[in-house]
Structure formats: C-alpha cells, structure tokens
Amino acid sequence: MVRSVNKWFWLFVLFLFLTGFASKHPLHMSTLEVNHNAEERTLEVSCRIFTDDFENALGKAFRTKASFYEPALKTKMDSLVKKYIQAHLQITSDGRRINLNYLGYEREEEAVYVYVEGMNVGSVKKMTVYNSVMHDLFDDQSNILHIIVNGNRKSTKLDYPTTSAVFDF
C-alpha cells in the first residue's frame, strides 16, 4: 500500500511540474513589520516579499532585468529596491510623515527581506501606514501589517486595492 501511495504522489508531483503549477505559488502576499524603538526614537521596518514576485515587480516597474540570484547585479538591485520601496511604502506618525532611510535587503530562501529605518520618532499615539507593495503586479495581493509600539502589537491585512491602515496606541 505504501509503495502505491508513493507512486501516486510522485506521479502527481510530476504532473504539477509538467503543467507549470509547481513553479507558481497561488498566494500573493507580503509582510511588513514596524517596531517603534522608543529608547532610540526610531522605527525599525522590515518587509518580506516573495523573491520571484519581487523580481517580476522590479523588472516591470523599471523595465530592466531584475535578479536577486546574480551577485553581479547586487548594486543595481540595491538601487531598484530602494526606489521601489520609497514609492510604495510611507509611514506617518501623529500626523508627521516619517522619512524612511533604506538600509538594504537580504535574500533568504524564497523571500527577500527589505530593511528601512525612520529616525527621530518620539512617542507614537497614531500611526498611518501606506503600503502598495506588489499592487502594480497582482490584483489579489494581500499585505500583512504588524505594528509594535511600547510592546503593544497591532496587526491587520490590506487586501488589494486597499493600501493604508491607521493604528491608534
């Protein structure tokens, strides 16, 4: 019986591979985490995006080849990621737009993590997050937001076409 199950399993995997289904993931999602560091008066921001989707979005947005797998393109990719994030992510704290400084990115398996930081952010009572990451590529995109202020974590999900959320602390 076990041998029969294994045979059917592998035939199914082969079918998925041959039809191209295995190379696509049906979920279009990013995750954004914003952590207010009150002691240092900063916002520590990380955004996780599927690597293949992000390459496609960057290629489309800037009409160029985008690959996180080619070391020779690292400098170019840094520039593209910075421009993309600046265009698709904004944070306002207590009515003041926060300047987000791009720190860099790293690829980890199937995802790219992008890091930015907001400086001179005192106490936070109200935060508005604008996030349209990947909206230019998918009309079924979901962006999960996790906001942490004074150890208080609030989360929400933005489904396309919604691009912003307000958090009260």
What pLDDT is attached to residue 10?
52
> Cβ distance 108 to 115 under 8 Å?
no
CA distances to 88, 135, 156 from 57, rounded to whole Å, are 12, 9, 23
- Distant-in-sequence, close-in-space partners of 80: CB < 8 Å, separation ≥ 6: 58, 61, 62, 64, 66
Quote the pLDDT of residue 98: 98
Of 42, 40, 146, 33, nearest to 98 by C-alpha is: 42
Burial class (CB in 10 A: 0-12, 13-18, 19+), 121: buried
pLDDT-based confidence at residue 5 (cuts at 50, 70, 90): very low
Which pLDDT tens digit goes with each residue over 91-144? 999 999 999 999 999 999 899 999 999 999 999 999 999 999 999 999 999 999
Q: Mean pLDDT over residues 22-49, rounded?
A: 89
pLDDT given at position 8? 58
Confidence of residue 26 (pLDDT cuts 50, 70, 90): confident
Q: Domain segments of the chain: what residues?
A: 26-168
Backbone torsions φ then ψ of 142, nearest 5 degrees: -120, 135
Statement: residue 24 has pLDDT above 90? no
Residue carrying structure tokens 């993309």: 84
Which pLDDT score is estimated for 19?
46
